[in-house]
Amino acid sequence: MSIIWDKLAQCQDSIIDIFDQHCDEIEEPGLSDFNQPDNGWINRVWANSDVRRAHIDVVDARATKGLWMMHVCVFPVLNNDGPVYGFDVIAGKNKMTGAFHDFSPTLDTHHPMVDDYRQLVDYFVPKKQRELPQWATNIFTDKMLAAGNVNSHEEADEIIKIALDNLQMYFDVIGEYTKDSIDIDAVKHAQNYYCANQQQNPHTPRVMKTLGLPEDKVDIFCRDMLFPKI
């Protein structure tokens, strides 16, 4: 039994519930090849009039590798200058080896939602702060939650609570910033810049291959499905 894994499985269910509450699930071309829940790989996408892509990716290799990984990312529609929501976790049986959460700005580093995010997470300081590489500092805020070696249940609970509360807030507020006056080309460029930097992360494909996923599928997935450019 792993309390950390149980908490994260509940978090996964809560994220899917929030997506179902606010969006309709959609079938992206080609994504079904990577949605294999019987094999421990979940990939599902939702959308609504304010969010063009709400994606959850879970690799459950607890039985084979002793690891569990989740990636969650929400992009607003192109006539919305709101931030990108992100939450990523990788966990062994007794700890989260990494947990990352941010409201990453697109056009405005002081967008109201980004500044609200900064205030909401300001009180929380991880016991072990993960240092970020250049590709990450290019796109994440100065208040990105980046925690390592999370082995206390209290800290794990707090990280999960922050991520879930902020996801609910994101959907409650994001529609306020869908406007005809938004520069769609600028938002498209900003979201593609976010994806281009995320694609530089060498750890994601490496970990997914370590978890036993087919190398050819992982390469295609990380290029075309995890952070697809528009």
Domain positions in the chain are 3-226
Q: How many CB atoms lie within 10 A of CB 11?
A: 21
Measure the CA–CA gap between 96 and 64, rounded to whole angstroms.
17
**CATH annotation of 3-226:** 3.40.1500.20
| Three-state secondary-structure class, residue 102 | strand
- pLDDT of res. 190: 98
Predicted confidence band of residue 1 (pLDDT cuts 50, 70, 90):
low
Taking only the tens place, the pLDDT of each residue in 62-89 is: 998 999 999 999 999 999 999 999 999 9
Buried b (16+ CB within 10 A) or exposed e, 116-150: bbeeebeeeebeeebeeeeebeebbbebbbbbbeb
In this prediction, residues 218-226 reach a mean pLDDT of 83
Report pLDDT digits (tens) over 142-166.
999 999 999 999 999 999 999 999 9
User: Residue 110: how many CB atoms within 10 A of its CB?
Assistant: 9
pLDDT digits (tens, 9 = 90+) for 193-211: 999 999 998 888 887 787 7
Strand ranges of the sheet holding 145-150, from the earlier edge strand across to the other edge: 24-26, 41-47, 51-61, 67-76, 84-91, 96-104, 145-150
Which residues, 6+ apart, have CB-to-CB distance to 177 below 8 Å? 50, 76, 80, 81, 82, 111, 113
